[in-house]
Structure 1
Amino acid sequence: MSEPAQNPAPQPAPQMSLPRTIAYMSAAVLIALGAGLGQGFVSANISQIAGDLGVTTTEASWLLIAFIVPRSCLPILLIKIRTQYGLRRFTEISTIVYVLADFAAVWMDDLRSAILVEFLSGSASASLSTLAFLYMIEPLSQQWRMRLGLPMALCFLAMGPSFARVISPALIGDGGLLRVHLMALGMALISLVSVYVLPLRPVPHMKVIRPLDLISFALIACGFSAVITGFVIGPLRWWTDAPWLGALLAAGVGAFAVAMVIELHRKEPLLDIRWLASPAMVHLTGALLIFRIILSEQSTGAPRMFQVLGVAPSQLVTLFSVICLFTLLGTLACVAWMKPTRVPQFHFVALILIACGAWMDSQATMDTRPEQMILSQAMIAFAGMLFMPPAMITGLISAMKKGPQYILSFIIIYISTQSVGGMIGSGLFTTLVNHRQAFHYQGLMEELATTRPIVAQTLTDQATALAPQITDAALRRAQVVTQMATDASNQAYVMAYNDLYFLTFLLAVLAASALCLHVFRDWLAARIEARRTPTPETSS
């Protein structure tokens, strides 16, 4: 998560030389990728990690929770921590924690130590996201910070999880996860050197942390933790089989409610709840949340469907390389053509691209391979960067018009819609896939009843083909029945993912339609207001 500084910008320093500018922006890219690779390595290699630790995949999912929770919660306080204790100290401590977490990852050998390491990694990742943004805008003039610095920082932060799937197969090979941890450690050490060699401009210190800030932060963190845990574990353990999930989510909602009550009665709140509840901010929050849930199709859909179909991670390298490339191209399109007045057009094009890509994916079959999804996934990746930077800039401009203290309130919107919204989207989509897979599997097994003549004939033919390998007739028939059930299960999963892709298509079309209606309403309101406002000639 990237976030701007809360304090007013200091007086601009003299223009940096080109080599120094390149050095600062390269450091930003390295730090941003380091922040995103941590989550990507866990999600891409969860089965491998579970095997190395000797636990189940469900138990290993707690590692993802341990990483996401601090990454989602800590940015709430990071702005104030940076303002009160100084940018230099904040930079050094953040990077040192990053190095220590990656160093400890090399030696982790059980689930408890791994959870602790991932918690430290998530904490460091929250800080690194801030540093990536600061280093990206450091050498830029004021007019280019929003137009170039923000989109580029968001690009490489978003690219991290996909880039992890590109490099993981080559790193893992036959040596397990050791080389993955060593690479993360190497990037952390280079980042540590970079922050010492390339210092950021200092900002004035101010005592801004209040005791009630810590209480509100603790309550909000509890709420985020409950939601993230519920939507990660819920689809795995299944919602109705784990009653504690309902109690956990209820406790999370209660923590959010108490935090809101506290903030509404403070003179200097951590979050301005009234401003967040204004129609403009509710609209922005809804747009960001819906879009983040729609984009969960790329992280939840294709990789898991190909895993079911038996596609090796090395076969996904080309697909995710293209996704990374088009994420960058979408960012460059934003830099070239983005203006505040063009935000609706950017969002409309993004939603149409996602709708087209999701519809193409919904035609998948058992024979679909990554090469057939390159175009559709490239469209979705390009659309993601057409939507996010303009929305982020719109929110920041609205916050800065109200005052620097409102920036933190907007940061909470971004956190809740991206980190938490991503987990909600992934959990909902996984739940939908599991539900639809069971539905389709039941239907397929009814069609494959052995009492049907065509099914009985197919069983006989396949059993006969296995006669040279298996001499026992009963074993041959059992083998054929098992293989047929496995094929039916895989087919049911593909049909379930097609339902998911089609649902994404419908959501994107509905969102595009709602955007058109919203723009038409604003245009109509402006026309009516223009007719009501007297012109100077009429007044005279």
Structure 2
Amino acid sequence: MDVYAPQVWLPHERPSLPGSPSTPLHTAERRLAFLVVGFIVAVTGGLGNALVSVNLPYLQGSLGVYSAEIQWLPAAYVMANVSMNLLLVKFRQQYGLRLFTELFLVLYALATVAHLFVHGLASAIAVRAAHGMSGAALTTLGLYYTLQAFPAQHRLKAVVFGIGFSQLALPMARMFSSELMEFGEWRGLYFFELGLALLSLACVLALKLPPGDRVKAFEKMDFLTFGLFAPGVALLSAVLALGRTVWWFESRWLGLCLAGAIVLIAAALLVEHNRARPLLNTRWLTNGNIARLAMSVLLIRVVQSEANGTVGFLQALGLNNDQMQMLWIIVMIGTVAGLVASALTITPARIPLQLMFSLAVMAAGAYMDSDATNLTRPADLYVSQFLLAFGGAFFIGPTFVSGFGAVIAAPNNLVSFSVMFSITQTLGSLLGSALVGTFQVVREKFHSSILVEHLTLLDPMVAARIQSGGATVGAALADPAARSATGVAALGAAATREANILAYNDVFLMITLVALLTLAWLLGRHLWSVCVVCQARPAHNAQTGMANVSLNNSGSR
């Protein structure tokens, strides 16, 4: 029996693309089961990496590594996640959903189990890379399960939820990751991650997706492209992840990695550009609509990195994750509200307006944070962070739908779209964190130099501040010089804290500006397209009218 022979489907069952499941009718109970499994799988795909990302400082201490070394963990995830999207689509198309599902969940579980018995940075990086590969698969799998939960007339709503469930991972990780660290330090995180992987595996084995069409998809040249593109993305991810930590212009290896990334990615694109059946359709990716979509998503991901700035700001004030729990609950509520609002309002015609609305909401939230002081506490950020979480969740579904419509029209571009969407999401998030972190460091040095410039012992207020700072340890230090040095150190710490606060305010203003400029660009494009349609309509009506007159005249003759 030829497994690649086309199957006969009823009209409502036909898969949208090779490698995707068919869509038979389900009972209400079975639809609910598909929704629950889709949620579990999608959250599993994002929560493991989120748990690591929000606990990097604590993992650094647990693993006994330097700050630059711990940054390899998020870099390894992005390296594997982006690269695997090149092969996953064709793997699913050629070998089917069942093998696709079980193989990557088992791989993920085995890598996590191995890390529980090997304590070291190398094994942690291997687990992150394995999770990057399986995470790319689980995101798609969660979407497929969610699509089965909705009838055909609500398929767009299913897409919003299927893509959006993974957005819940980050606030969930911030809400309870501290308890996991208390349970068993870094092993607590990996035990929980292992439990999620096994739960997902049990769910997909108990409730299988309907079968789909299988086609012979792989070609030999695909692996050449992967061999060039994957190391190129890996080098680029390393530069973005570690550039701020080791600093961009002080480490020679960063420049070598960036040069290597440019050469390898350019070589991969050159190979693809000249292929008859490319894995990456460079002509399609450089199409005006697709390129603008990718740029807008990338800019929105930069705006979303404001959340990292908020965490850094609160940590600069001396707050820890336990004191921010209510803030993360508010963020979770905002994310859920954004997903629900997006699903309820989405239509193809509203997608540009939804993207602009999400940018306006995030710009408002970032601007509200830009007047923070050393008295700002998490309760002062509830409204702004709710708006940012709402806007971030509101845009993700319409973005995916707007690009996927072009894939339905040309199914051969599915791999290209998957890679483009993955790059703008995962690599875009890494880029946003790098830009925000770098800008914050630069502005902190600027404000620190101005503040310290005016600190002189000739100023009575400065002398009094140093004296009061030394008096706090007067009972422990009898030496006046030591007390004076302690006072100077306390004043320096206060100046550094204020410089950081001013720098984070600049970051929030910068993000507001990026959001507003992106909004203006999208609004200009939308108004231009509306004007073009309005101008074309009278011309079309005039031509139709002339044709009708001609027909009437010929009829009268």
Distance in structure 1 (CA, Å) of the matches to 2:244 and 2:525: 35
Structure-2 separation of matches of 1:116 and 1:8: 28
Please say if 1:457 is aligned against 2:464: yes
Counterpart mapping for 1:46-445 below 5 A: 46-145=56-155, 147-173=156-182, 175-298=184-307, 300-401=308-409, 403-445=410-452
Identity of matched residues, %: 30
Instruction: Confirm or deny: 8 A CA contact 1:264 1:274 kept in the other structure.
Output: yes
Greater CA drift, 457-466 or 306-315: 457-466
CA distance change for structure 1 residues 506 and 107 in 2, over 3 Å: closer, same or farther? same
Contact 1:25 1:135 in 2 (8 A): yes
Contact 1:79 1:408 in 2 (8 A): yes
The amino acid of 1:87's aligned partner reads: L
What is aligned with 2:18?
Answer: 7
Provide, for residues 46-69 of structure 1, a one-character-per-residue CA deviation record: whole Å limited to 9, x for no partner: 122111111112211112212221
- Give the direction of change, closer, same or farther, for the CA distance of 1:464–1:50 in structure 2 (3 Å limit): closer
Q: Could you report, residue by residue, the CA deviation over 1:194-249 in whole angstroms, capped at 9, with x for unpaired residues?
A: 11111111222211100111111222212221221101111000011101111211
Q: Which residue of structure 1 aligns with residue 455 of structure 2?
A: 448
Distance in 2 (CA, whole Å) between partners of 1:445 and 1:239 is: 25
- 1:507 pairs with 2:542: no
| CA distance in 1: counterparts of 2:236 and 2:281, whole angstroms | 22
Match of 2:486 among 479, 502, 508: 479
Other structure's SS at 1:173 match: helix
1:52 partner amino acid: S
Q: Report if aligned partners of 1:5, 1:79 keep a CA contact under 8 Å in 2.
A: no
Compared CA separation, residues 425 and 465, structure 1 to 2 (3 A): closer
Q: CA deviation at 1:464?
A: 4.1
**Residue 50 of structure 1 contacts residue 60 of structure 1 at CA under 8 Å; is this kept in 2?**
yes
1:43 and 2:53 are equivalent in the alignment: yes
Q: Cα gap change, 1:9/1:36 in structure 2, threshold over 3 Å: closer, same or farther?
A: closer
- Indicate which of 22, 41, 51 corresponds to 2:32: 22
Q: How many residues align?
A: 533
Distance in 1 (CA, whole Å) between partners of 2:228 and 2:20 is 31
Identify the residue that residue 490 of structure 1 maps to in structure 2. 497
TM-score scaled by length of structure 2: 0.92
Q: Deviations over 1:306-345 (max 9, x none)?
A: 2222111111222122212211111111111111111122
Structure 1 residue 523 displacement after superposition: 1.9
Distance verdict in 2 for CA 1:187–1:462, change over 3 Å: closer
Q: Secondary structure at the match of 2:53?
A: helix
Residues 224/458 of structure 1: CA separation in 2 closer, same or farther (3 Å cut): same
* Paired residue type of 1:22: L
Are the equivalent residues in 1 in contact too, given 2:157–2:346 (CA < 8 A)?
no
CA displacement at 1:535 relative to structure 2:
4.3
- Relative to structure 1, the CA distance from residue 263 to residue 462 in structure 2 (aligned partners, 3 Å threshold; closer, same or farther) is closer
> Match for 1:142: what amino acid?
A
Q: What SS class does the counterpart of residue 149 from structure 2 fall into?
A: coil
1:398-427 residue CA offsets vs partner (Å, 9 max, x unmatched): 2212x2112221112211111111111111
The CA deviation string for residues 2-52 of structure 1, in whole angstroms up to 9 with x for no partner, is xx9741866542x32222222221111111111111211111111221111
In the alignment, the residues of structure 2 paired with residue 98 and residue 175 of structure 1 have an alpha-carbon distance, to the nearest angstrom, of 20
Verify the 8 A CA contact 1:6 1:405 in the aligned structure 2: no
Local SS of the residue matching 1:366: coil
| CA distance, structure 2, for counterparts of residue 379 and residue 367 of structure 1 | 21
> Which SS does the other structure have where 1:109 is aligned?
coil
Q: What amino acid does structure 2 have at the position aligned with 1:192?
A: L
Structure ID, larger Rg: 2
3-state SS of paired residue (1:126): helix
Tell me: CA distance 1:462–1:187, structure 2 relative to 1, closer, same or farther (3 Å).
closer
Aligned to 2:538: 531
